[in-house]
Amino acid sequence: MGNIWLTIGLIASLAVGAPANPNEDLKKANDAIQAGRFDEAISIATQALNSGRVPTEAEFYFYWERGVASYFKGDAKQAVADLSKVVETQQGSASSYYFRGLAYYQLGDGEHAIADLTSTIKLDPKNADAFANRGENYQNKKQWDNAIADYTQAIALKPNYGMAFNDRCTAREAAGKLDDAVADCDESIVLEPAKGLYYSNRADVYGKLGKWDMAVADLQKALTLESDASLRKQYQDELNSAKAKVTTAH
């Protein structure tokens, strides 16, 4: 199953209900986030909040910037704390619920993640990423039907969403819908043929179908695409096991 993910370039499109920049400090912080300079964004927002120059009613702008930067930096606790301050007064900020939901996921709190992503969807019903990420939380709770439904909605909103096809593949596999799972894995590979994970996941399904030759081919392909050492070891172990199954079958 894929991980919760979000590219930096999607920040602006996800900032539904997020504050417009009221001053230069906010612009600098937002620019730093989009450039991947998260420590800089956090520093700018923190200095502004501690300066005494920001009116109380405008502090949420800086909490939003710091919360989002903290999420991307991997500080989920700080992200939850800051974004919670935003939603106290800005209940219409879909992006605040979204990023807080992702932060809750990082903390292993699926219930709160689902709740926040549900709030995101209510405010921004065309947000494909919110559906996909809520689906992943449902999948972690083994609520296969809910996960499949959310991935399906994400795909309806974004037909070229390779990761959603991949995750629906793994959810359908877990639910025992193996032929449908293969079809989803096929589509994810068509859309993003350079992702070793997708071949590995399809190999898992082929194994359950007893198609070990095809599983071997997919795992060999996954190995050619993957650079991460730990994943390469995983794929190699799976490949060795699949080859043994082929030998036994023959």
* pLDDT the model gives residue 24: 83
182 domain-assigned: no
Question: Which stretches of the chain are DSSP H helices?
Answer: 11-14, 24-34, 38-50, 59-73, 76-89, 94-106, 110-123, 128-140, 144-157, 162-174, 178-191, 196-208, 212-225, 229-249
95 domain-assigned: no
24 domain-assigned: no
String of b and e for 184-195 (b: at least 16 CB within 10 Å)?
A: bbebbbebbeeb
**Nearest by Cα to 67 from 110, 92, 36, 38:** 38
Reported as half-sphere exposure (CB side, CA atoms, 13 A), residue 4 has a value of 28
**Nearest by Cα to 142 from 168, 117, 175, 169:** 175
Reported as half-sphere exposure (CB side, CA atoms, 13 A), residue 80 has a value of 15
Q: What stretches in the chain show pLDDT beneath 70?
A: 1-22, 249-250
53 domain-assigned: no
230 domain-assigned: yes
Which are the contacts of 159, defined by CB distance < 8 A and separation ≥ 6? none
* pLDDT the model gives residue 21: 45
68 domain-assigned: no
Number of domains in the chain: 1
Structure tokens at 1: 């199953």
What is the tens place of the pLDDT at every residue in 7-62? Answer: 334 444 444 444 444 578 888 999 999 999 999 999 999 999 998 888 898 999 99
0.85 surpassed by pTM: yes
Reported as half-sphere exposure (CB side, CA atoms, 13 A), residue 217 has a value of 5
Query: What are the C-alpha distances in Å from 242 to residues 184, 221, 226?
Result: 21, 13, 18
Query: What are the C-alpha distances in Å from 150 to residues 14, 99, 145, 197?
Result: 18, 18, 9, 21
* Domain encompassing residue 221: 193-250
* pLDDT the model gives residue 14: 40
Query: What are the C-alpha distances in Å from 141 to residues 6, 111, 198, 238?
Result: 21, 9, 22, 25
* pLDDT the model gives residue 248: 76
* pLDDT the model gives residue 208: 97
52 domain-assigned: no
56 domain-assigned: no
* pLDDT the model gives residue 15: 44
The dihedral built from the CA positions of residue 56, 62, 68 and 72, taken in this order, carries a sign that is negative
* pLDDT the model gives residue 60: 93
DSSP string, 168-225: HHHHHHHTT-HHHHHHHHHHHHHH-TT-HHHHHHHHHHHHHTT-HHHHHHHHHHHHHH
